[in-house]
Structure 1
Amino acid sequence: MLLASTGLLFAFLVAFSMPIVFALGAAAILGLVLGGYSLEMLASSLIGASQNWILLAIPSFIFAGTVMERCGMSNALVDLARALVGWLRGGLGMSVIVVSYFFSDICGSKMAEVSALGSTLMPPLRRAGYRSADGASLIASGTAMGMLVPPAIFMIVIGEVTNVSVVALFLAGFIPAAVIGVCLCALVAIQAHLLGWPKDTPSRFIR
């Protein structure tokens, strides 16, 4: 009964376009009231959660990714990636993979990463002759690969739940992500030779 009531309230509020954060809060308060819990537990739970320094890193990474997206820092990372691999055939496609590695290394928000890379790289990909499906698949695969690049939110959660060092998990993620990135770049190189994708033009970074 308790679960059904809170679930119905949450679905009702979301259906009427209430932001999810407020809908979750209202459903949680209803659950406390119907369950006979003291509302004082709400404040103590919030304070207790705010004292967990490991979990506090999650909103910090998301905030960092949003700031990077809004401030245009992604453009500098794109220029760096294009300068590193743009001289190769299919270099623009490879730069998507490289910049995904860079972006994931300093940002924990995949939504911000997809938004930033999509708005920055999709227009030049189309102009270079890449199909929209090819560009979207490159960005999606690069972002998925970036989930292994620290800081990764799921690594923080796993480390907290299993009592494993988060730093050790971070260090263990670099090499697998790099191997996947190299394999993706090799696949792009093969596709570039088969489909005739051009070399990228020099970016502003090396002019």
Structure 2
Amino acid sequence: LMLFEAIQRLMKSPFRQAVSAIAAAAALVVVLMLAKPLFANLGQANLAIIFLIGVPVMVFSGVPIAFAFVAATFAYLALGTHIPTSVLVARVEAGMSHLLLLAIPTFVFLGVLIEITGIAERMIGFLTNLLGHVRGGLHYVLVVAMYLVSGISGSKAADMAAIAPALFPEMEKLGHDRARMTALLAATGAQTETVPPSLILIAVGSVSGLSIAALFTAGLLPAAILGALLSAVVWHQTRGDTHQLRPRAVRRVVLMSFLIALPG
């Protein structure tokens, strides 16, 4: 799918730009092949050159991260070792054939369902009624909502896509800074990477052979601590806040919004 997307992006780019990119890539391959004897004499220094220099250059030039690491691994095998490059293909095929990896597209699909069905919006509605009247309340809502939604979906991109449209307009209406809101959203996305079901933990368990259940159990506490630290940062930044506050919701409204959000 990533290769298909890359080809599709290349086809959408201007013809001259696409030809220039292909020519530059071909020239780079030729230069590396001509320099193969030089790389063969460097020994373990190849790892530092290819992975510490080559990978960042590829990433910052727009190459997807997965392709950057695959290309770096292929270059290391081809230039710095006598191992046949067919080993890389076999290892990639063996890794992608792992049964556990079937969970990844399933959780991504679940994240899309959360966005489409409005489950995230109902959760945010309850949290907003509960915390929206306190100073910096919507920032706390963002932190807690990301934690809760991440416990349903393993895709953090889908979680952020579901929460931001539901919460950001209200926060902007109250005068909050969009840059700070975006930074907090990105921080909560990183904070909830260990909240099960986590795609990263599934991948780690698949590669290392560790128990997925044990990884999921171990991931809850670090995410909760990071959430508490983010909440402390929010409190520190908003203690002198002069932005408009939401009116306090009556207990009946809070209870009704909780019952509405409960099925999600």
Please report the TM-score for the alignment, with normalisation by the length of structure 2. 0.59
Query: Is residue 2:149 matched to residue 1:103?
Result: yes
Partner residue of 1:67 out of 108, 113, 123: 113
Contact preservation (8 Å) 2:135, 2:241 = no
The equivalent of 1:118 in structure 2 is: 164
Look at both structures and tell me which one has the larger radius of gyration over its CA atoms.
2
Contact preservation (8 Å) 1:149, 1:173 = yes
The equivalent of 1:15 in structure 2 is: 10
Consecutive unaligned residues of structure 2, counting only runs of 5 or more, are 14-66, 68-85, 87-92, 257-264
Amino acid at match of 1:61: F
Query: 1:127-166 to 2 correspondence within 5 Å?
Result: 127-166=173-212
Contact preservation (8 Å) 1:90, 1:198 = no
Please report the TM-score for the alignment, with normalisation by the length of structure 1. 0.74
Contact preservation (8 Å) 1:89, 1:200 = no
* Change beyond 3 A, Cα 1:181–1:14: same
Contact preservation (8 Å) 1:65, 1:109 = yes
The equivalent of 1:195 in structure 2 is: 241
Q: Percent identity?
A: 31
TM-superposed deviation, 1:10? 8.5
* Change beyond 3 A, Cα 1:11–1:124: closer
* Change beyond 3 A, Cα 1:187–1:197: farther
Partner residue of 2:102 out of 37, 56, 65: 56
Query: Partners in 1 of 2:187 and 2:178 — Cα distance?
Result: 14
CA RMSD of aligned residues (A): 3.1
Give the paired residue count.
176
* Change beyond 3 A, Cα 1:60–1:133: same
* Change beyond 3 A, Cα 1:200–1:9: closer
The equivalent of 1:76 in structure 2 is: 122
Contact preservation (8 Å) 1:92, 1:199 = no
The equivalent of 2:214 in structure 1 is: 168
Consecutive unaligned residues of structure 1, counting only runs of 5 or more, are 1-7, 19-23, 25-36, 38-44
TM-superposed deviation, 1:86? 2.7
> Which one scores higher on RCO, CA 8 angstroms, separation ≥ 6?
1
Contact preservation (8 Å) 2:131, 2:137 = yes
Amino acid at match of 2:108: I
TM-superposed deviation, 1:98? 0.3
Which secondary structure does the structure 2 equivalent of 1:135 belong to?
helix
